[in-house]
Amino acid sequence: MALSGGITEIEGVKVGCCTDLEAATGVTVVLVEEGARAAVEVRGSAPGTRETDLLQPSRLVEEIQAIVLAGGSAFGLDAAGGAVRYLEERGRGFLTGPLAVPIVPAAILFDLFIGSAAVRPDAQMGYQACLEACGGPVAEGSVGAGTGATVGKFYGPHQAVKSGQGSASCSCGDLIVAALVVVNAFGDVCDSRGELLAGPRHPETGRMERTAELMQGRSGSAFPGNTTLGVVATNGCFNREALGKIAQMAHNGLARSIWPVHTMWDGDIIFSLSRGGVEADISLAGTMAAEAVSSAVERAILTATPLCGIPAAGGR
C-alpha cells in the first residue's frame, strides 16, 4: 500500500477552506456536488453534529452533496447553512418533486479559547468555503476548520501545541482511499514510530510530556474543549453498511497516532464517502483508511503554524 496525495485524489471530491486568523477559527468543506454515498462513526463522547442520523442504515436518503467541518463549537454548525445555499443555487440535492434539497452533514470542534470567542463560523463562511473548493492540492496546517485546532491540553489550552488539518491518500492497485483530518485532540500526537510529535507543555519547563503518564499521576477533570474530525473518501464501490465498517476501521488510524483518544472530553467523528466503481474488499479498504487517517494526523501537526501565542511542533 503506497501513501501519497490527499483526499482530492478521489474524482469528484473538492475541498475548500475559509480562514479567519484573527479570530482563530474557520470552515473546511468537502464538496461532492454530484453526490456520494456516505456513512459516519462517532467514537468520542462530546460530539457536535448535524444531519448524521441520515447516514445510518435504513434511512431514505442515499447520497450527500457536502460535508462541513467547522470551529466555533455548537455555534459553528451554522456554517452548514452556507453550503446548503451554495448547493441549492446549483440545483444539487435530494429530489423532492420540483425541488432539490441539499444534504450536508456537519461536525464541529471547540476553538473558542483562542482568538475571539465572539466570532464563530457562520453561513457566509460556509458559503465562501464552497466557492473556494477545488480538486487541487488540499490546504494543510492551521487553515479552515484547523485554524484554531490544538492538541495536548492536559495543563489547559494555553499549554497546548498548535495543530491543524492534514490530508493523505493510500492506494493499492486501482483502489484509492484518502483522508482529511482536523486534529483538535485532548491527547498527544505521535509519529509512525511512536515518537512524540506534540503533547502538553509543562507550565514551568515548557517541555512536552505524555498525557497518559500525566493522567496516571493526577486525578480531576480535564479541559473539555476537544474533538478530532475526519472524512475518508474512496473510489471503491461500497454501500452505506460497508462504508459504516470502513469508518469504524478508519478510527484505528486515530488510535495509532493520538493517545489517549476517544475520551469523554473528545467528540471524535469520522465520515466515510464512496465515489467510484472499483470493486474492493471492505477489510482492505478499512485498513487503507486507517493508514491514510494516521498519516493525515501527522501532517496536521507537521504543517501547523503558531497562532495566538500557542507554538507549533515545528516552531515555524
> CA distances (Å), 295 to each of 5, 129, 230, 265, 267, in order?
11, 24, 12, 23, 20
The DSSP result for 117-182, as a single string, is TT----HHHHHHHHHH-BSSPPP-BS-GGGTT-EE--TT-GGG-EE--EEEEEEEETTEEEEEEEE
> CA distances (Å), 132 to each of 83, 139, 269, in order?
12, 11, 24
Residue 166 lies in a domain: yes
pTM of the model: 0.95
Name the DSSP class of 27. Answer: E
All cell numbers assigned to 133: 473548493
Residue 308 lies in a domain: no
CB atoms within 10 A of CB 43: 19
pLDDT tens-digit map of 98-111: 899 999 999 999 99
Residue 266 lies in a domain: yes
The domain in which residue 191 lies consists of 2-302
Residue 296 lies in a domain: yes
Nearest to 290 by CA among 234, 235, 210: 234
Strands (E) located in the chain: 2-4, 14-20, 25-42, 49-50, 63-70, 94-96, 99-101, 106-108, 150-151, 161-162, 165-172, 175-182, 188-190, 196-198, 229-236, 258-259, 269-278
Q: Which residues contact 219 (CB under 8 A, 6 or more apart)?
A: none
**CA gap 53, 266 in Å, rounded:** 20
Residue 310 lies in a domain: no
Q: What is the CATH number of the domain that holds 46?
A: 3.60.70.12
Is the four-CA dihedral 300, 305, 308, 313 of positive or negative sign?
Answer: positive
Residue 312 lies in a domain: no
All cell numbers assigned to 254: 486515530
Domains held by the chain: number: 1
Q: What is the pLDDT along the chain (316 residues), one digit of tens a residue?
A: 555 679 999 999 999 999 999 999 999 999 999 999 999 999 989 899 999 999 998 888 989 999 999 999 999 999 999 999 999 999 999 999 889 999 999 999 999 999 999 999 999 999 999 999 999 999 999 999 999 999 999 999 889 999 999 999 999 999 999 999 999 999 999 999 999 999 999 999 989 999 999 998 875 567 778 999 999 999 999 999 999 999 999 999 999 999 999 999 999 999 999 999 999 999 999 999 999 999 999 999 999 999 999 999 875 4
CB atoms within 10 A of CB 102: 21
Task: Note the residue count of the chain.
Answer: 316
> CA distances (Å), 40 to each of 84, 151, 242, in order?
19, 23, 11
Q: Which amino acid is at 281?
A: D
Residue 314 lies in a domain: no
pLDDT tens-digit map of 137-161: 999 999 999 999 999 999 998 899 9
**CA gap 104, 141 in Å, rounded:** 24
**CA gap 51, 43 in Å, rounded:** 17
Residue 309 lies in a domain: no
